[in-house]
Structure 1
Amino acid sequence: MSYSTKLTENLNRQDPNSRPPPLVLLRWLASFALKRGSPLHWRQRLALAFIRAQRAIVPAGVRRRNLRRELTGQGIIAYCAKKGLVVKTVQLEASSTTYKAGLDVPAPTLHFIAAPGASDQSGATTLLYFHGGGYVNPMRAGGHVPFALQCAEACGAREVVFLEYALAPEYPYPAQLVQAVAAFRYLLEGDSHLSVDDIVLAGDSAGGNLVGSLLAHLASPSPYAAPVDLAGHTLKAAVFVCPWTMMHVNQASFATNDAYDYLNRPQALQFKAEWNPAEGEVWANLCDAPAASAVWDAAFGRAGKPGVVSKALVTSGSAEVLVDSCNLFAKNHLRGELVVADSGTDLSVLDGKDFVSVECNGEVHVQPALDAFMGYKDGVMMRAIARFLKTV
């Protein structure tokens, strides 16, 4: 099966009545053909051109219905069955999300998948992964699962744990933060009995926001979930993949990259409206909430004081609409070196850097998930993430 056929069937298999009309396919092929000068590999360009064409033509409501026909857990289980992977699903107790009276948050579900090459002799390192989708869409297992498994392999993790969180608008902010805290606490206190030092956090887009939300809660507890006592320990690492860090959309990259990325300003505003974050709270608005500087100083460790995580990476694509906000978060709060990378960059430059950001030339929003779906393993962002994780 060709890559284009595989992509078309996967993105439209849930609703045979909404397969792209000829106009979509023509626009897709034209977009692919006209970007020959792009620094992206042809597989990357093919996936991006299709998504942009589909989103330009297929009504948003139809896309939403299709995406929600297969929820996160269903997608993970189906993917694992197809690939012969063993998945263990754990439904947390209802009491795990009942800290704040009157806050309606369902107990989350966790999905455990053994990492490639893991054995009984593997260490305890575990990757806790939060998927993107604007807090509105479920995880796309065909891209997210293989991407997360590559991350787990890079850092020597024995397993990946996916959080299946409740979706907005049915469950707006702060439901996902409450569930993330419950998931983290379960890894420490449940059957896994992990140490804080065993855990690597990673997430993309809204999932990157949730990585930050959880770290911020660990450093400065929110009123929505119980504080977590780390007992002086720090998480092994955190990876923010193209994170959603700012709630407004007036950054210049929303205009300059509108012609390249598949995410755009109207979509970002729609996600925000449905998630309904409290913009003055750092657990939602990571970059420019009033308390952001103080909270991130505590989270990342400043003035000789330990933080809550030992190492952190922020990635972005130079052609994505969120690149400005990603870079601003990294500059103001991560305060690590910015590495601008392309296919020829020697990524050993990341070695020895505990806090670092990487802007990947020509790549778009959450490029590694698109690459993983297409079976392409040489994307700049994916290689940068893998290089960083090999050092944790």
Structure 2
Amino acid sequence: MPSHQMHESSPGEKVKLCFVLVGLVIRSLLSFSIKLIPRLAAGWPLGRILVVSYMRSLSWLSFSQSRTITVPTGQAIQKFCQKAGLFCKSVDVPSSSGPQATLHYIQIADLPQPRLLLYFHGGGYCHPIDAFGQLPFALECAHAASASSLVCLEYTLAPELPYPGQLLQAVSAVSHILETHNPSQILLGGDSAGGHLLLSLLAHIQTPHPAAKPLSESVQGEKFLGAFAISPWVSMNYNSPSFAQNASRDYLRAERIMPFIEMWKPSLIEVWAELLVGDGEFWGDVKVERVLLTSGEWECFYDDIVEMAGKLKAREVGVGGKVELCVGEREVHIQCAVDMAVGARHGKSAREILAWLRRVGGEKRGVLEEV
């Protein structure tokens, strides 16, 4: 099933959309000119300044207008693979309740160890994958981890499917993958809402959601090879100090997040939705060998991510330990995907993610070679 149905616009709506898009371009250029000098002084490349200015201006688009110009996740992945010359196999996965999801297997290399990276894209649970930033960076992550396949979950978006529908689809997808792979052959990754889905999945393995199939039997005491969450959306509240401190810097602000929450309809008392409800004891033994969280210093989610890292007992990236936290200086929300979309050089978080994946992949490969 596609992630969403594209909005069919009337002739009047199409004319209005054209005017809105022109206004969006003008607004982006004005924002670019205002931010140019201070952002250059902060070391930002021109492409990054321009794309962040554009993304800050997207609030001009209504939700239905955004649905008019975005294709479903599956279509975006197929077009990307055709252009890149990559083989992609799509498999429908029935959900225990609600619509079925689709797993898109992108073959990277024919390796003796069938390691794969299962990736959950972000977008506030309301928008499909971005084939210009999110998808190519996920592909680079899979290469860094020496994975033979990048597997992207096409989950149904809100408001068509509210909470906890995406978690149920993710559980069904992981159950399907575990029929052919051991947990030690699986890396989990996600950005923003996809990072939330990843952590929600780990919470489900700890304490199953009542509506979803338990994964404890499928995992059978084994741990996943690794999990990395890029700028994860960990709290449905938007009152932490970083929301005010970074409102003029980040493109994802409280007013952009509120409609997502209204459409997704999470339960704020459940740990699978409001991740910060879980305490340190709950998050202290996630079923993953290594975990990496990232945040931009200039993003609104910064304080929430740091709090989540504390519950996971994270240490600074590069120091070592089961859970690590990377903070990208002067970076905004999922900076790595933003930079990828315009061909800008990697910032700190992107470099650390790729280095972490090489370490995790290399450590496991070394163990296999010794055996």
How high is the TM-score relative to the length of structure 2? Answer: 0.87
Alignment correspondent of 1:378: 346
Q: For 2:198, what is the secondary structure of its paired residue?
A: helix
Question: Alpha-carbon deviation of 1:32?
Answer: 4.7
Alignment correspondent of 2:302: 323
The answer to whether the 8 A contact 1:286-1:292 is kept is: no
Structure 2 unmatched runs, 5+: 1-16, 361-371
Alignment correspondent of 1:19: 21
Residues 226 and 47 from structure 1, CA distance in 2 versus in 1: closer, same or farther, beyond 3 angstroms? same
Q: How do 1:1-392 residues align onto structure 2 when only pairs under 5 Å count?
A: 18-21=20-23, 23-34=26-37, 35-52=39-56, 54-56=57-59, 58-61=60-63, 63-67=65-69, 69-92=70-93, 94=94, 96-98=95-97, 105-115=98-108, 118-119=109-110, 121-189=111-179, 193-228=180-215, 229=217, 230-287=219-276, 289=277, 291-299=278-286, 308-331=287-310, 333-339=311-317, 349-350=318-319, 352-392=320-360
- In the aligned structure 2, how far is the partner of 1:313 from the partner of 1:127? 14
The answer to whether the 8 A contact 2:28-2:53 is kept is: no
The letter of the residue matching 1:312 is V
- In the aligned structure 1, how far is the partner of 2:64 from the partner of 2:34? 22
The answer to whether the 8 A contact 1:40-1:363 is kept is: no
Residues 16 and 91 from structure 1, CA distance in 2 versus in 1: closer, same or farther, beyond 3 angstroms? farther
Q: For 1:370, what is the secondary structure of its paired residue?
A: helix
The letter of the residue matching 2:238 is V
- In the aligned structure 1, how far is the partner of 2:112 from the partner of 2:343? 26
- In the aligned structure 2, how far is the partner of 1:326 from the partner of 1:20? 35
How high is the TM-score relative to the length of structure 1? Answer: 0.82
Q: For 2:285, what is the secondary structure of its paired residue?
A: helix
Question: Alpha-carbon deviation of 1:377?
Answer: 4.2
Residues 234 and 153 from structure 1, CA distance in 2 versus in 1: closer, same or farther, beyond 3 angstroms? same
Question: Alpha-carbon deviation of 1:36?
Answer: 2.0
The letter of the residue matching 1:107 is Q
Q: For 2:127, what is the secondary structure of its paired residue?
A: coil
- In the aligned structure 1, how far is the partner of 2:26 from the partner of 2:291? 43
The answer to whether the 8 A contact 2:280-2:312 is kept is: no
Alignment correspondent of 2:6: none
The letter of the residue matching 1:19 is L
Deviations, residues 19-43 of structure 1 (Å, cap 9, x unaligned): 3336325314314523321232222
Structure 1 unmatched runs, 5+: 1-14, 99-104, 300-307, 340-348
- In the aligned structure 1, how far is the partner of 2:28 from the partner of 2:229? 33
Deviates more, 1:22-31 or 1:39-48: 22-31
- In the aligned structure 2, how far is the partner of 1:382 from the partner of 1:79? 21
Instruction: Quote the sequence identity (%).
Output: 36
The answer to whether the 8 A contact 1:335-1:355 is kept is: yes
RMSD, aligned α-carbons: 1.8
Residues 161 and 31 from structure 1, CA distance in 2 versus in 1: closer, same or farther, beyond 3 angstroms? farther
The letter of the residue matching 2:324 is V
The answer to whether the 8 A contact 1:39-1:361 is kept is: no
Deviations, residues 179-211 of structure 1 (Å, cap 9, x unaligned): 00011011011xxx1001111110011100000
Q: For 2:137, what is the secondary structure of its paired residue?
A: helix
Deviations, residues 244-266 of structure 1 (Å, cap 9, x unaligned): 11111110011110001100011
Residues 151 and 313 from structure 1, CA distance in 2 versus in 1: closer, same or farther, beyond 3 angstroms? same
Q: For 2:228, what is the secondary structure of its paired residue?
A: strand
Q: For 2:66, what is the secondary structure of its paired residue?
A: helix
- In the aligned structure 2, how far is the partner of 1:122 from the partner of 1:144? 27
The letter of the residue matching 1:33 is L
The letter of the residue matching 1:337 is R
- In the aligned structure 2, how far is the partner of 1:89 from the partner of 1:59? 31
Question: Alpha-carbon deviation of 1:128?
Answer: 0.4
The letter of the residue matching 2:234 is T
The letter of the residue matching 2:295 is S
Question: Alpha-carbon deviation of 1:145?
Answer: 1.4
The letter of the residue matching 2:334 is V
